[in-house]
Structure 1
């Protein structure tokens, strides 16, 4: 599923609301509020504003049953998370992708199970025969620190 750039740009607060909607399909604004009020101290009006923003971005849909509005995600959670990482890597110098991923998986706050690690190792081993020895830089001169471009003054 392709995720549009508008969909991909959600704030941290919107992200928290979206996680509740993924976990509780057909939830209501009250349901989202109950899930997040203790952690964030938000008012119901704040939650409703965030839900409207997510709807406007096309990330959630709303249906009305009587006087109650129900919310459901229109994007798959795993695909959406994957796209967030892809967008970050595509904005960075291609030559730094390995270092970025290495730092991410080395971060103690990012938990991986043994089966996750084994799966990653197998995936990387499968890619190894076709992987290039070196990646070319995808940056324009003046943007990158990889050393392939001559630095020039950026005004």
Structure 2
């Protein structure tokens, strides 16, 4: 007996390579307050972005189409939740930037940051601790 093929949904695979700056601003709010309505997101971004409700809602609807958000409908209310974790989103963004600017390797990026952006004593100490812990895990 043949197993039926899965129907194609036409949706793209979730990847932050398609997240715009506006979508990043919106998804950060939703991560902190999910599930939430578009009005909640618009209020949270009102001071920093000045976007209208329509702008936020249209962007969120596009994010649903891209697979970044899901909608739960409760009567006339639409509550939005994220479909991608903070860790996954940051990982994809970091790998994109590493690939473009530093040939995909972490060491040149860290060297660049230290040499051109500087580190406070606290940051340097924290970095040493992280490097030492990573070295112990691999030993």
| TM-score using structure 1 length | 0.65
Q: Secondary structure at the match of 2:94?
A: helix
Q: How does 1:5-16 map to 2 (within 5 A)?
A: 6-16=15-25
What residue number does 1:120 align with? 130
Q: Check conservation: 2:30, 2:36, Cα contact below 8 A.
A: yes
What residue number does 1:63 align with? 72
Q: Check conservation: 2:14, 2:68, Cα contact below 8 A.
A: no
Q: Check conservation: 2:69, 2:83, Cα contact below 8 A.
A: yes
Shift of 1:88: 2.1
Q: Structure 1 residues 59, 98: closer, same or farther in 2, change over 3 A?
A: same
Unaligned runs of 5+ in 2: 1-12
- The number of equivalent residue pairs is 124
Unaligned runs of 5+ in 1: 130-155
Higher helix share: 2
Q: RMSD across aligned C-alpha pairs, in angstroms?
A: 3.0
Distance (whole Å) between structure 2 residues aligned to residue 75 and residue 82 of structure 1: 11
1:17 corresponds to which of 18, 22, 26:
26
What residue number does 1:98 align with? 107
Ranked by relative contact order (alpha carbons within 8 Å, sequence separation 6 or more), the top structure is: 2
